Amino acid sequence: MTGPGPRRTDLDFGATVVSEPMSGVEGVSFGLYFPTGSRYESAASNGISHFIEHLVFKGTPSRSADEINREIDLLGGASNAYTTKEIVCLHARVLAENLDRAFDLFADLATAALPEGIDEEIERERTVILSEIRGADDAPEDLVGHLIDAAFYGEHPLAMPVMGSAGVIAGLDVATLREHYARHLAGSRLVVAAAGAVEHDALVERVRARLNGAQRSAAPDPGPAPRPAGGRRVAERDTEQVQVGLSGPGVGARDRRWAAAELLSMIIGDGYSSRLFREVRDRRGLAYSVCSSMCSYSDVGSFNIDFGVAPGRLAEALEVVAGVLARVRDEGPTPEELDGARQSLRGAMLLGHETSGARMAYLADQVLNDRPNLDIGPDLLAVQRTGLDDLRALAAELLAGPLALAAVGPVPDGALPEGPLELPR
């Protein structure tokens, strides 16, 4: 299937449709993206968005949970959902011939879920969520992620875990769940994104026919941007290694310096030739895996480092990591590092853009974050045009202060600083 490239249509009732046709494919990936998530929750409701993401598959007035599961299986392909701190998404990949049927099902889940009479289904799923939370608490990699968010974002809602806590989930009543669903999904603005064997105008008409009910409300106010803090969180666990997380300031999804941030992260710790991999693993054998990443929300971001280390070498590993970061802050990357990172990032972007699911997610991300481009070309150009001065200025800014610190495992006395990790001067 060929087409003119990505297209966008804003509908007057509060939905945006964005799609891109792809040649040589039989399937189509589509998703319904809602601007909500744990950022829009309170401490008393933390985890409700993720809970509802599970519950939409448990029944509507026209479909039971068993009927929903059977219909998903008959459609073939794959169907799923996920919740982040700023998004709830229902998505699927099906043959193009099944798109209308699949979209009707997902529109039903997005507008008519949690009806009366499914309280037993809700309670069963509550047990599933509680088990999921316990599993995350038992996994050091997951737990350190929750702890570093709490250390970095402090009292801001972005510090709260997407799944919430066992106490909150156990106490959420059905009326509260239904009210939240009605406001944040059924009555919320949304983005419908699709890529593959899709015809834009036909998709627009399908969205208009199935979702044009009451006027959808504006996206919720995310509140003020957080002021990240250099905090410290430690959870003692009887494990073989100590899992460590570090976080410093990053850039938000709407920040034009995103390309510089991604390139900087690749040079520091995202790849086999990165500084952290070479220094921490290859030269000193301190950790099997060490990596850095940028995490961007709509108005704020974080620069993150993760690694696991034997307890007896924890202090040494932190000293080495701090030294690597300080040298990047003070000296900046080299021209050779920038050239290599450009090539690597360009390749990752192009290869990642080959599947319909990746293109669907890219289109939705562009719309949700008010980015002007639907085609990847301008983003590739931004990577190529980012220079050493851009990276040096950003490194000096992002690594100017201490890094929030989290650790999970058998932490020896005195192996961690009393507060955040200070970088040497």
Q: What would the two tokens of residue 178 be?
A: 């239904």
Q: What would the two tokens of residue 169 be?
A: 């989930």
- Where do we find the tokens 């507060």? 419
Phi, psi of 83 (to 5 degrees): -125, 135
Measured CA to CA, the distance from residue 171 to residue 177 in angstroms comes to: 11
Beta bridge partners of 421: 403
**20, 41, 53, 337: which is the annotated catalytic residue?**
53
53 flagged as catalytic:
yes
Measured CA to CA, the distance from residue 144 to residue 242 in angstroms comes to: 10
**Using an 8 Å Cβ cutoff, are 218 and 189 in contact?**
yes
Phi, psi of 123 (to 5 degrees): -70, -35
DSSP state of 216: P
Q: What would the two tokens of residue 77 be?
A: 């392909």
| HSE-up of residue 410 (Cα within 13 Å, Cβ side) | 8
In terms of C-beta density within 10 A (0-12 exposed, 13-18 middle, 19 or more buried), how is residue 171 classed?
A: exposed
**E strand or H helix at 147, and its extent?**
helix 140-153
Measured CA to CA, the distance from residue 348 to residue 351 in angstroms comes to: 5
Measured CA to CA, the distance from residue 133 to residue 410 in angstroms comes to: 22
- How many residues would you count in the chain? 425
Beta strands in 135-241 (DSSP E): 190-196, 232-236
**Using an 8 Å Cβ cutoff, are 115 and 61 in contact?**
yes
Measured CA to CA, the distance from residue 418 to residue 398 in angstroms comes to: 22
Q: Which of 280, 275, 350 is nearest to 308 (CA)?
A: 280
Q: At what angle do helices 258-269 and 377-385 cross, to 10 degrees?
A: 60
* SS3 state at 49: helix
Measured CA to CA, the distance from residue 183 to residue 179 in angstroms comes to: 6
Beta strands in 96-218 (DSSP E): 190-196
**Using an 8 Å Cβ cutoff, are 383 and 353 in contact?**
no
Q: What would the two tokens of residue 311 be?
A: 């307890």
Among all residues, which ones are annotated catalytic?
A: 53
